[in-house]
């Protein structure tokens, strides 16, 4: 198999750019009169665009049903929504919000066609394969981070002693339409902007150095990081109203969804799947607090085991691009990437895991359950423990 032998999944249609939210009523009307609108509990309801959207349907036959999401979706939440709206003959599900809202809408669009609980089809939990039938789905992100508007899975969370983060996955679950309007992210608070932004950065980096990367995902990931550049710092630290920075963040986030869906992710997201199931910590915070340390450990391991590795060259390429380096030295540029991520983590004040109750006593349990996914190098349990201990 050559590098140019790959499969690639993406949205049939994406509307990207400031003001694109205005196309939403027309798009919704194209599916039918019964609409289920899934949004966040507070933020979008307080936005004047919510009232504008309702007015757009005031004199039309469109029947809009609502569900407001307050946290990361659980299997029980999906089942509750499906029970409520299963007999409403919904023609299209529209999710407007952050990654949790989009994942909720995505899972509901799938399960409205089924009678079983969603856990029946969850990876690593259920007993049946999900066949892919769904209600049409439109994703409208209001944060720049998860890239869920471009992915083929909905992540569901059960927090607790035996908790988990598992996916309902099928290539048909890629949203039929993504409407990405950077203006919707302007009111996003700094802490959420920071966490979501670091999630997007993590996804772009991990998919770029993934063992399953292809020329297509490489091109998109490198291009996404090039566009994103210093936009994260500009959005969080310099000027939250900077629409150019917000636009670049949204582009990076959308592309990260495309690349993760097609190349896979690495050890950071391996950690996140475990930690997020046991502690109530925002996914972006977990990724943001660990990405610099995992990147540094990967680079050091590659230098020790395989200094001519193509993955080390890739890390160096990212360092050269993000650090605007003129150096041609691989080790120098790879180190620059590691240092830059450390600096970003500090500058935008990503909290430690200990802030959410993770302690040294939890490290062994987390490490024993962590899968390294498509990480470019196999890290030892000692490596994984070192990473966690630096961020508790």
* Residue 57 within a domain: yes
CA distance 275 to 108: 25
CA distance 293 to 269: 13
- Where do runs of H (alpha helix) occur along the chain? 24-29, 48-56, 75-85, 99-111, 190-208, 215-228, 231-233, 243-263, 267-278, 283-305, 310-322, 330-347, 363-369, 381-390
| Alpha carbon separation from 41 to 69, 96, 112, 294, 295 (Å, rounded) | 5, 11, 21, 34, 35
Place of tokens 């700094």: 190
Q: 224 and 364 in one domain?
A: yes
Q: 275 and 128 in one domain?
A: no
Q: What is the pLDDT of residue 151?
A: 97
Residues 304-323: pLDDT tens digits?
A: 999 999 999 999 999 999 99
Domain-terminating residue out of 185, 219, 251: 185
263-291: b or e for each residue (b if 16 or more CB lie within 10 Å)? bbbbbbbbbbbbbbbbbebbbbbbbbbbb
* Residue 108 within a domain: yes
For residue 262, give the CATH number of its domain. 1.20.1090.10
Confidence of residue 270 (pLDDT cuts 50, 70, 90): very high
Residue of 158, 154, 160, 268 whose CA lies nearest to 204:
268
Which range (3-7, 114-118, 127-131) has the least confidence? 3-7
Decide: 266 and 294 in contact? Cβ < 8 Å. Answer: yes
Q: What is the pLDDT of residue 334?
A: 97
* Residue 150 within a domain: yes
* Residue 225 within a domain: yes
Confidence of residue 264 (pLDDT cuts 50, 70, 90): very high
Average pLDDT value for residue range 136-156: 96
Q: What is the pLDDT of residue 58?
A: 85
Confidence of residue 28 (pLDDT cuts 50, 70, 90): very high
Write down how long the chain is: 392
Q: 207 and 173 in one domain?
A: no
Q: 91 and 136 in one domain?
A: yes
Domain-terminating residue out of 151, 185, 219: 185
Phi, psi of 136 (to 5 degrees): -55, 145
CB burial class (10 A; 0-12, 13-18, 19+) of residue 217?
buried
The answer to whether residue 345 scores a pLDDT higher than 70 is: yes
Which range (37-46, 92-101, 255-264, 363-372) has the least confidence? 37-46
The answer to whether residue 286 scores a pLDDT higher than 70 is: yes
The answer to whether residue 3 scores a pLDDT higher than 90 is: no
Q: 227 and 169 in one domain?
A: no
Phi, psi of 96 (to 5 degrees): -125, 110
The answer to whether residue 300 scores a pLDDT higher than 80 is: yes
Domain that holds residue 255: 190-390
Confidence of residue 43 (pLDDT cuts 50, 70, 90): low
Q: 259 and 346 in one domain?
A: yes
Q: 270 and 161 in one domain?
A: no
Confidence of residue 6 (pLDDT cuts 50, 70, 90): confident
Average pLDDT value for residue range 68-86: 94
* Residue 33 within a domain: yes
Q: 241 and 217 in one domain?
A: yes
Confidence of residue 81 (pLDDT cuts 50, 70, 90): very high
For residue 178, give the CATH number of its domain. 3.40.50.1970
Residue of 291, 389, 390 whose CA lies nearest to 342:
291
Q: 243 and 105 in one domain?
A: no
Domain-terminating residue out of 164, 185, 206: 185
Q: 194 and 52 in one domain?
A: no
Q: What percent of the chain has pLDDT over 70?
A: 99
Q: 218 and 174 in one domain?
A: no
Q: In total, how many domains does the chain have?
A: 2
Q: Global pTM?
A: 0.95
Higher pLDDT, 61 or 147: 147
CA 270 to chain centre: 14
Average pLDDT of the chain is 95
* Residue 1 within a domain: no
Q: 217 and 142 in one domain?
A: no
Decide: 275 and 352 in contact? Cβ < 8 Å. Answer: no
The answer to whether residue 302 scores a pLDDT higher than 70 is: yes
Q: What is the pLDDT of residue 1?
A: 52
* Residue 266 within a domain: yes
The answer to whether residue 129 scores a pLDDT higher than 80 is: yes
* Residue 364 within a domain: yes
């Amino acid at each position: 198999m050559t590098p140019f032998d790959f499969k690639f999944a993406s949205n049939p249609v994406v509307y990207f750019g400031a003001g694109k939210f205005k196309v939403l009523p027309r798009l919704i009307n194209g599916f039918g009169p019964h609409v289920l609108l899934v949004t966040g509990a507070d933020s979008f309801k307080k936005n004047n665009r919510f009232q504008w959207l309702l007015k757009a349907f005031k004199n039309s036959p469109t029947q809009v049903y609502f569900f407001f999401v307050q946290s990361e979706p659980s299997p029980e939440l999906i089942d509750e929504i499906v029970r409520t709206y299963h007999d409403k003959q919904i023609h299209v599900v529209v999710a407007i919000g952050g990654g949790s809202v989009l994942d909720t809408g995505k899972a509901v669009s799938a399960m409205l066609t089924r009678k079983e609980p969603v856990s029946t089809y969850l990876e690593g939990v259920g007993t049946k394969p999900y066949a892919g039938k769904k209600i049409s789905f439109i994703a409208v992100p209001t944060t720049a981070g998860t890239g869920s508007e471009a992915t083929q899975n909905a992540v569901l969370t059960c927090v607790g002693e035996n908790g988990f983060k598992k996916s309902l996955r099928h290539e048909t679950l890629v949203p039929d339409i993504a409407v990405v309007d950077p203006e919707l992210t302007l009111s996003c608070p700094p802490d959420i902007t920071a966490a979501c932004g670091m999630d997007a950065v993590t996804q772009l980096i991990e998919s770029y150095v993934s063992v399953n990367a292809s020329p297509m995902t490489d091109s998109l990931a490198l291009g996404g990081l090039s566009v994103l550049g210093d936009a994260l710092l500009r959005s969080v630290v310099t000027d939250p109203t900077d629409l150019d920075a917000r636009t670049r963040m949204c582009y990076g986030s959308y592309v990260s969804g495309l690349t993760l869906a097609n190349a896979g992710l690495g050890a950071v997201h391996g950690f996140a799947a475990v930690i997020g199931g046991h502690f109530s910590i925002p996914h972006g915070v977990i990724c943001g607090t660990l990405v610099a340390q995992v990147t540094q450990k990967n680079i050091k391991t590659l230098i020790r085991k395989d200094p001519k590795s193509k993955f080390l060259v890739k890390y160096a390429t990212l360092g050269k691009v993000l650090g605007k380096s003129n150096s041609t030295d691989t080790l120098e540029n790879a180190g620059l990437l590691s240092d830059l991520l450390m600096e970003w983590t500090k500058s935008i004040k990503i909290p430690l895991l200990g802030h959410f109750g993770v302690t040294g006593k939890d490290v062994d349990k987390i490490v024993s359950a962590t899968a390294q996914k498509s990480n470019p190098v196999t890290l030892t349990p000692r490596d994984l423990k070192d990473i966690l201990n630096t961020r508790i």
